[in-house]
């Protein structure tokens, strides 16, 4: 602005355009030759001032560009850091996702095993309940049969000892002692068979009880293993959720860093364009002023 003011003064003083004066140094010299020496010196100082101010303006625009460059570099470093943090967060998230999937698969498998063992336990429980009920009922039946057999055996024994008693009770006056002994032996066999059957029932219940206890222990172990798998799955879910939160945060930070870098780049480009424009203008004005200063120097 001061240069334009100076140029206007010089042009008015000479009644000629500045561009004409600069292109025609002889005319400018002639114009300045008639000027007061003090005014020439003052103009010379003013030219120096304008050149310095132009250089100061260019330095200011350069500093503004350099500051914008520094800000852009800082935003670039921040984006690089955000890139690295996001990459790390993605890696951890992928790891936790895989861990959660593996824990889920493992929990499902152990849940299936637990259910299978429960099915077996239920089956063994049913068999045990049935064996207990059968044993109770059959034991009662065997007790009745044994009691009956013993009663009959007692009667036959009396028949063997007294035919009269046998006649009175069994109407077997002609009973053959050998046949009576054979009948008693048959009853003894039936009683013995009943005892064998009784023991078989006891053994069957004991076997069912043992199978139940084994199945119960296996099921308890499957429950414990599945419970651990459930805990591991919950831990994996928590770790996944934490990793997801970090990933979301790092993603947001990366978006913000990207936007900040772009804004810094736009600002840098704007300052660079301003510097280029003003540098060109200042350089052009400086050339004109240097020419004028050279001309003024000839008058000193």
- Token representation of residue 231: 């805990």
pLDDT of 273 > 80? The answer is yes
Tell me the residue range of the domain where 223 lies.
Answer: 36-299
For residue 218, the model assigns a pLDDT of 97
Residue 4 has pLDDT above 60, yes or no: no
Given a cut of 50, is residue 1 above it in pLDDT?
A: no
**207: in domain:** yes
What's the rounded mean pLDDT across residues 254-274?
Answer: 97
- The answer to whether position 105 is within a domain reads yes
**Any domain includes 2:** no
pLDDT, tens only, 35-76: 566 766 777 788 888 889 989 999 999 999 999 999 999 999
Between 298 and 73, the more confident residue is 73
pLDDT digits (tens, 9 = 90+) for 126-183: 999 999 999 999 999 999 999 999 999 888 888 777 654 445 544 545 557 788 888 8
Quote the DSSP letter at residue 1. Answer: -
Q: What are the angstrom distances between the C-alpha of 287 and each of 49, 62, 99, 205, 292?
A: 14, 19, 72, 119, 9
In-domain check, residue 223: yes
Q: Is residue 196 part of a domain?
A: yes
Q: What is residue 12's predicted lDDT score, i.e. its pLDDT? A: 38
pLDDT tens for each residue of 201-251: 999 999 999 999 999 999 999 999 999 999 999 999 999 999 999 999 999
Report yes or no on 124 lying in a domain.
yes
Task: Name the residue with higher pLDDT: 285 or 42.
Answer: 285
Rounded Cα–Cα distance for residues 299 and 35 (Å): 10
150 occurs within a structural domain: yes
Count of structural domains, the chain: 1
Whether the model pTM is above 0.85: no
* Predicted local distance difference test score (pLDDT) of residue 226: 98
3 belongs to a structural domain: no
Nearest residue to 146 (alpha-carbon basis) of 185, 192, 199: 192
Best CA proximity match to 246, nearest among 39, 20, 91, 49:
91
Q: How confident is residue 97, by pLDDT bands cut at 50, 70 and 90?
A: very high
134-143: Cβ within 8 A, 24+ apart: 134/201, 134/204, 134/205, 135/201, 135/202, 135/204, 135/205, 138/197, 138/198, 138/201, 139/198, 139/201, 142/194, 142/195, 142/197, 142/198, 142/201
On the 0-12 / 13-18 / 19+ scale of CB atoms within 10 A, 236 is: buried
Residue 269 belongs to a domain with what CATH number? 1.10.287
């Amino acid at each position: 602005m001061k240069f334009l003011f100076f140029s206007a003064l010089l042009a008015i003083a000479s009644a000629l355009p500045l561009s004409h004066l600069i292109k025609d140094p002889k005319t400018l010299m002639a114009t300045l030759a008639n000027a007061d020496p003090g005014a020439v010196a003052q103009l010379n100082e003013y030219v120096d001032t304008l050149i310095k101010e132009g250089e100061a303006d260019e330095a200011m625009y350069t500093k503004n560009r350099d500051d914008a460059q520094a800000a852009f570099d800082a935003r670039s470093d921040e984006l690089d850091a955000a890139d690295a943090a996001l990459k790390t967060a993605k890696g951890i998230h992928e790891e936790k996702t895989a861990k959660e999937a593996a824990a889920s698969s493992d929990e499902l498998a152990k849940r299936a095993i637990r259910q299978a063992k429960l099915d077996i336990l239920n089956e063994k429980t049913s068999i045990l309940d049935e064996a207990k009920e059968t044993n109770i009922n059959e034991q009662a039946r065997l007790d009745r049969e044994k009691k009956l057999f013993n009663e009959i055996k007692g009667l036959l024994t009396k028949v063997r000892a007294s035919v009269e008693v046998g006649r009175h009770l069994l109407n077997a006056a002609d009973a053959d002692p050998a046949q009576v002994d054979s009948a008693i032996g048959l009853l003894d066999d039936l009683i013995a068979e009943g005892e064998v059957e009784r023991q078989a029932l006891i053994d069957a219940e004991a076997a069912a009880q043992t199978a139940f206890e084994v199945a119960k222990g296996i099921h308890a172990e499957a429950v414990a293993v599945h419970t651990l798998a459930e805990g591991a799955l919950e831990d994996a879910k928590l770790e996944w959720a934490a990793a997801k939160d970090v990933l979301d945060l790092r993603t947001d930070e990366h978006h913000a860093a990207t936007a900040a870098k772009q804004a810094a780049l736009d600002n840098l480009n704007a300052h660079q364009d301003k510097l280029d424009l003003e540098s060109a203008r200042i350089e052009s004005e400086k050339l004109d002023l240097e020419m004028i200063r050279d001309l003024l120097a000839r008058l000193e």
